[in-house]
Amino acid sequence: MNKQIKILSLSFAALMMAGALSAAHAAGDAAAGHEKASGCANCHGADGKGRVPLAGKKEAYLLEQLQAFKSGARQEAMMNMLTKKLSDADMADLAAYFAAQK
Ligand code: HEC
């Protein structure tokens, strides 16, 4: 139990540090996001220019939408289901990738 709490708070600290370090520019890793984006291509296009376009939207906006889908604050059956499987890092990477597409 104690060990788990320690690991949790350590990873939380690491997350905070990662956030602080990358605050100057994109929080997510666009290259990593590219690899994770294959599951989004059917609806959003591999480059974010599909039926529901994501390309060029603000990274912070995209991340916020993904978090809202995951929490259920924004309702869309497909996105609610898909985001359940995504970690915070996945969502940050995906947001960075799609925001970087012009
Ligand atoms: C089966 C189709 C489908 C797949 C696959 C899918 N999406 Fe979506 N996504 C949608 C639809 C439909 C909407 C629009 C929802 C609405 O109108 O509220 C949406 C909306 C979004 C939005 C909000 C866009 C905006 O302008 O507000 C983001 C961000 C997003 N999706 C990211 C992703 C990511 C990242 C993936 C891959 C992990 C993904 N989606 C996979 C169908 C899909």
Task: Convert the pLDDT of each residue in 36-74 to its tens digit.
Answer: 999 999 999 999 999 999 999 999 999 999 999 999 999
The pLDDT of residue 23 is 45
Nearest CA to ligand 1 atom 17: 76
Other C-beta atoms closer than 10 Å to the C-beta of 52 total: 13
Measured at the CA of 89, the angle between CA 94 and CA 8, to 5 degrees, comes to 170
Calculate the CA 95 to chain-centre distance.
5
Report pLDDT digits (tens) over 4-30.
666 666 666 666 655 555 444 558 999
d(CA 83, CA 65): 10
Around ligand 1, the residues with Cβ closer than 6 Å are 39-40, 42-44, 52, 54, 57, 62, 65-66, 76, 78-79, 82, 94
Measured at the CA of 32, the angle between CA 65 and CA 51, to 5 degrees, comes to 45
Nearest CA to ligand 1 atom 41: 40
Nearest CA to ligand 1 atom 36: 40
CA 79 / ligand 1 centre spacing (Å): 5
Which residues, in sequence order, are CB contacts of 34 under 8 Å at separation 6+?
97
The pLDDT of residue 13 is 62
